[in-house]
Amino acid sequence: MKITAARVIVCCPGRNFVTLKIETDEGLSGVGDATLNGRELAVVSYLQDHVLPCLIGRDPQQIEDIWQYLYKGAYWRRGPVTMSAIAAVDTALWDIKGKIAGLPLYQLLGGRSRSAVMVYGHATGRDIAETVDEVLRHQAEGYRAIRAQSGVPGLDKVYGVSGSGRMYEPADSHLPAEHDWDSAKYLRHTPRLFEAVRAAAGEEVHLLHDVHHRLTPIEAAQLGRSLEPYRLFWIEDPTPAENQQAFRLIRQHTTTPIAVGEVFNSIWDCKWLIEEQLIDYIRATITHAGGITHLRRIADLADLYQVRTGCHGATDLSPVCMGAALHFDTWVPNFGVQEYMPHSELMLSVFQCDWRFEQGMLYCGEKPGHGVDIDEKLAARYPYQRAYLPVNRLQHDGSLHSW
C-alpha cells in the first residue's frame, strides 16, 4: 500500500480548524487534526511545504517508522508547530490502519478498558450565582464532572467566562483582545465560588477549576489550600510550567490534586513532573503532543506513577481530535477524565462523528478507524479567518501577565 496524496484543509465553521487528509492507492483515506489555536497557518505551511512531499509513495501502514522519520529526521525536534504537524500525520495513519483492519481504533490500541469515557463539562457565569445555576444545569444533563469558572468582582473580563449558558470561544477576536487581571481579587473570590458550588451541587459531583497559568507558585499553593474544604477533582495549570520546580513548592502546601499539560507537546515536557510525582493528571492530548503514537508513551510513563490522563478537549481541538481521543480514552488503562466542550451544530455538519453523549459519559463509535471524517465541499464554504486568544494585563499598571 502507498500514500498517493495528502492535503491540508483549512476551514472556519465558527472557528478555525486545520485538517490533514491522507489518501492511498487502495482507496482508503484517513484524517488528522493539526489545529494550533491562533497559530494555525504555521502548521499548514509546516505540513504543506515540509512534510507532505516526504509522505508520497510511503507505506501508510508503517506508522512508527513515519513518526520516527518526521521526529528524528527533522533535526529540529519538538515544539508545538512540529508536534501538531506530526500528530496530524500520525492520527490520519491510525485512521487508515483501522480501516485496513476493519476495526475501531481502540481495538488496535489493545481493546476496551472501560464501558465509556467520563467527561467534564464547562459551567461558567459572570458571577457566583450564574455559575452555580450552570453547574446545576450540567448536573441535570447528567454530567458527573464539572469545571466551574466565574467572573471576578472588580475585573472586567476573565478568560473562559461567558454569560448565561453560552460557551466561550478561546480565540475570540481578529487581533488579541486585552483582558485585565488581579491575582489578589481572584484569590479572594475563588474559594467563595467553590463554597457556593459545593453547597448547591452536593458531595458526589467532581468539581474542577482552571487557573490558566496565572498565579505565582506561592499564590498557587494558597489557592490549593483554600480550596481543600471543597475537595476538588483538580486545579489545572496553577502556575506556568516552564519552571517545573514551582510544582514542588505547591505540593509542599496543598493536597488539592493538580492537572498540567495542555500546552505540553512532548514526553520531555511531562517527564520530570511525572517522575517527581508533582502532578496527578496529565492533560496533553493527541493534536498537540505528537499524535496517538506519542501520547501513548506519555500515558505509559504516567501510569508508572499513578498519574492519570485528563486530555485537553476545548473546542479549538477539532472533532477529529475528539474522535481519536475518545478511542484513546476507551483503551488507556490510567484514564482519569476527558474534557468536553461540545462543538456547534455547524462544526458537526462539516465533521461527521459517530460518538454519543449519555449521562455524563461519551461513547466512541464502532466504525473502523477513529470514526470522524470531513465534508470538504462544505468546509470550503467557510474559509479561514484570523483569530487570536486574548492577552492578559495586570489591572493596576498594564504590564503583560502570564496566562
- Give the interface with ligand CS2 as residue ranges (CB under 6 A): 37, 160, 170, 210, 212, 262, 312, 314, 316, 339, 389
Nearer to Mg ion by Cβ, of 196 and 389: the residue is: 389
Q: What is the closest distance, in whole angstroms, from the C-beta atom of residue 80 to ligand CS2 in the complex?
A: 11
Cell numbers linked to 331: 483503551
x/- map, 200-239, Mg ion, by CB under 5 A:
----------x-----------------------------
Contacts for 27 with CB less than 8 Å, ≥ 6 apart: none
Residues written for the chain:
403
65 exposure class (CB count in 10 Å sphere: 0-12, 13-18, 19+):
exposed
Give, as ranges, the residues between 251 and 280 that touch Mg ion (CB under 5 A): 262
For the stretch 77-83, contacts whose Cβ atoms lie closer than 8 Å and that sit 24 or more positions apart, written own/partner, are: 77/266, 78/265, 78/266, 78/268, 79/265, 80/36, 80/39, 80/263, 80/265, 80/288, 81/36, 81/39, 81/42, 81/43, 81/46, 82/46, 82/265, 83/265, 83/266, 83/288, 83/289, 83/290, 83/294
Strand order in the sheet with 29-33: 3-11, 17-24, 29-33
Distance between CA atoms of 35 and 8, rounded to whole angstroms? Answer: 11
CA distance linking residue 48 with residue 164, whole number of Å: 41
CB of 18 to Mg ion, least distance (A): 20
Query: Which CB sits closer to ligand CS2, 261 or 371?
Result: 261
Residues 60-89 that bind Mg ion (CB under 5 A): none
What is the smallest separation between the CB atom of 235 and Mg ion, expressed in angstroms?
Answer: 11
Out of ligand CS2, Mg ion, none, what residue 170 binds, judged by CB under 5 to 8 A for its kind, is ligand CS2
How far is Cα 225 from Cα 228, in angstroms, rounded to an integer?
5
* Set of cell numbers at residue 65: 517508522
Instruction: Identify which of residues 100 and 321 has a Cβ nearer to ligand CS2 in the complex.
Output: 321
In angstroms, what is the minimal distance from the CB of 104 to ligand CS2? Answer: 26
69 vs 168, beta carbon nearer ligand CS2? 168
Q: Which is nearer to ligand CS2, 106 or 340 (CB)?
A: 340
Cell reading at 270: 511531562
- Under the binding rule (CB under 5 A), the answer on residue 339 touching Mg ion is no
Q: How far lies 344's CA from each of 39, 145, 399, in Å? A: 22, 21, 35
Select the binding partner of residue 295 from ligand CS2, Mg ion, none (C-beta < 5 to 8 A, by kind): none
Q: Exactly one of 212, 213, 288, 327 is catalytic; name it.
A: 212
Active site (annotated) includes residue 159: yes
User: How many residues make contact with Mg ion (CB under 5 A)?
Assistant: 2
Find the catalytic residue in 71, 106, 159, 230: 159
- Which of ligand CS2, Mg ion, none has residue 316 at its interface (CB below 5 to 8 Å by kind)? ligand CS2
Cα 68 to Cα 33: distance, rounded to the nearest angstrom: 19
CB of 222 to ligand CS2, least distance (A): 21
The residues, any chain, with a CB within 8 Å of residue 34's CB and separated by 6 or more, are 8, 18, 19, 20, 43, 44, 47, 84, 85, 87, 88, 287
**Closer CB to ligand CS2, 33 or 262, in the complex:** 262
* 191 interface partner picked from Mg ion, ligand CS2, none, CB below 5 to 8 A per type: none
Q: Could you tell which of ligand CS2, Mg ion, none binds residue 269, using a CB distance below 5 to 8 A set by kind? A: none
Q: Give min distance, CB of 356 to ligand CS2, in A.
A: 22
Q: Quick check: 180 binds Mg ion (CB under 5 A)?
A: no
Q: What does residue 95 show for φ and ψ, rounded to 5 degrees?
A: -60, -45
State which residue, 168 or 363, has the beta carbon closest to Mg ion: 168
Q: How far is the CB of 84 from ligand CS2 (least distance, A)?
A: 12
Instruction: For CA atoms 36, 169, 148, 151, give the dihedral sign.
Output: positive
Residues that bind Mg ion (CB under 5 A): 210, 262
What are the residue numbers of the active site?
Answer: 159, 212
